[in-house]
Amino acid sequence: MSNLEERDRAVIWHPYTQMKNALTHIPIVKGEGVYLFTEDGKQYIDAVSSWWVNIHGHGNAAIADAVAKQARELEHVIFAGFTHEPAIQLAERLLNLLPGDQKKVFYSDNGSTAVEVALKMCLQYWHNKGITKRKKILAFNNSYHGDTFGAMAVSARSIFTHPFSDLLFEVDFIDLPNASNIDVIKEKITAIGDEAACFIFEPLVLGSGGMLMYEATYLDELITLCKTQGILTIADEVMTGFGRTGTFFASEQLSSRPDIFCLSKGLTGGTMAMGITTCNQQIFDAFYSDDKLKTLYHGHSFTANPIACAASLASLDLLLKHETLVNINRIKKQHTQFAERIKHHPKLKEVRQTGTILALEWATSNETSYLNTLRDSLYTYFLEHHIILRPLGNIIYILPPYVISEQDLDYIYQTITAALEIL
């Protein structure tokens, strides 16, 4: 066992990990493109983009240069009373890229804080307007919006939230819409009507819930209904943003326009932690007042950190390159071809794809859950074959950095095909 493994075990408590029977945490000393390297030179393909954040590959030189340059000029400054070029420029550029009429950018630290800010914007929006009965929040069954308390409350109740269930505020959960249930869902929303403050959703793909996918047209129907009911809409694009679903934002595939967007994960290209909540003029105006009580009293020590802004600007430059679009389209096409080949395999219950995300649901006899033992066997199998894939229960998904080569993607498909025969 390496020195790093022992030192880790002595002092570190890892996320989403039962430390008692955890496998040894693999020390990584270098990243380059889709590869992560260990001390002894072993290499892994990062097929999950290091928890969905890394879109341009590891060790990207352009982002590294931007980060280094910014760190020398201005590493951080208090963002109340002061401002800086990287934050302003990033806001200008994002507002131009986001679909619809987004007008303001509010910075925070990660996906969960971006969601907290969005929820607070919506709840205080009604408070500021003196409307007291709009307190309810709508969210999808199987949704995931983060691990802080507000974000947990609007996420599906699960083994993750169980110990805190008594303390989470009530949320009206609705099913993912499809042709057969859309009318029932719409009736439910209409019944809640003017008691609802907002509806928060992951557009097109529910990530942690198991890469569950649904059609833009039904989401459009729900957003349109919310608009007629005065219910504010929040698109949580923390996972789907920055090219992941094939378009720059998943919401570009909608014809209706959400009021608020939450961004993080791919924002900085996966190099630094940063969250963003954007809103339209209507939301902003409800806070714009001589009355100090109408202020959004929210902020974090590292709000709009200049280095994270610089990383985001460099990442945007890369995303907007023609080459990146070509890569995204190639991954989409390769996924589709593999899905066609594999979808009738008797061990697969379903194969689904949205953009660069491919999910394969293993048919299992025991209950589908995060704790499924198949998950551990699959995880270990892929590691042994030098691929990092972290199944969500019996669901394997590939969510690669866009720089992954055709060959590496084919190698992942081959390894999955072999796993289907063995496990």
* Active site amino acids: 16, 144, 236, 265
Which residues from 238-277 bind ligand PLP, rule CB under 6 A? 238-239, 264
Nearer to ligand PLP, 15 or 346 (CB): 15
Tell which residue, 121, 64, 150, has the closest CA to residue 286. Answer: 121
390 has binding-site annotation: yes
Among the residue ranges 81-89, 144-152, 217-225, 248-256, the one whose residues contact ligand PLP (CB under 6 A): 144-152
The tokens for 17 are 């990990």
Q: Among the candidate windows 66-74, 236-244, 305-313, 345-353, which touches ligand PLP by CB under 6 A?
A: 236-244
DSSP state of 226: H
Size of the site for ligand PLP (CB under 6 A): 14
Q: Where are the alpha helices (DSSP H) in 98-238?
A: 111-128, 149-153, 182-192, 216-228
Among 108, 110, 280, 334, binds ligand PLP (CB under 6 A): 110
- Rounded to a whole number of angstroms, the minimum distance from the CB of residue 344 to ligand PLP is 30
Q: Considering the rule CB under 6 A, would residue 408 count as an interface residue with ligand PLP?
A: no
User: Is residue 392 within 8 Å of residue 403, measured between CB atoms?
Assistant: no
Question: Looking at 203, 207, 209, 401, which residue binds ligand PLP (CB under 6 A)?
Answer: 207
Q: Which residues pair with 359 in a beta bridge?
A: 352, 397
Contact at 8 Å (CB) between 107 and 276?
yes
Q: Which of 116, 202, 259, 408 binds ligand PLP (CB under 6 A)?
A: 202
Q: Which residue type is seen at 420? A: L
Closest CA to 95 of 266, 279, 262: 279
Q: How far apart are CA 402 and CA 194, in angstroms?
A: 43
**Alpha helices for 154-291 (secondary structure H):** 182-192, 216-228, 281-285
Q: Least distance to ligand PLP from the beta carbon of 229, Å?
A: 24
Q: How far is the CB of 76 from ligand PLP (least distance, A)?
A: 19
Query: Tokens for 122?
Result: 């919506």
Residue 301 is assigned to a ligand binding site: yes
Residue nearest to ligand PLP (CB): 111
Q: Is 8 annotated as a binding residue?
A: no
* Rounded Cα–Cα distance for residues 158 and 145 (Å): 13
- Say whether 52 counts as a known binding-site residue: no
**β-pairing, 136-140 with 172-174?**
parallel
> Binding site: what residues are annotated?
51, 111-112, 144, 236, 265, 299-301, 390
Q: Which residues are annotated as a binding site for substrate?
A: 51, 144, 265, 299, 390
Q: Specify binding-site residues for pyridoxal 5'-phosphate.
A: 111-112, 236, 300-301
Residues that bind ligand PLP in the complex, under the rule CB under 6 A: 110-112, 115, 144-146, 202, 207-208, 236, 238-239, 264
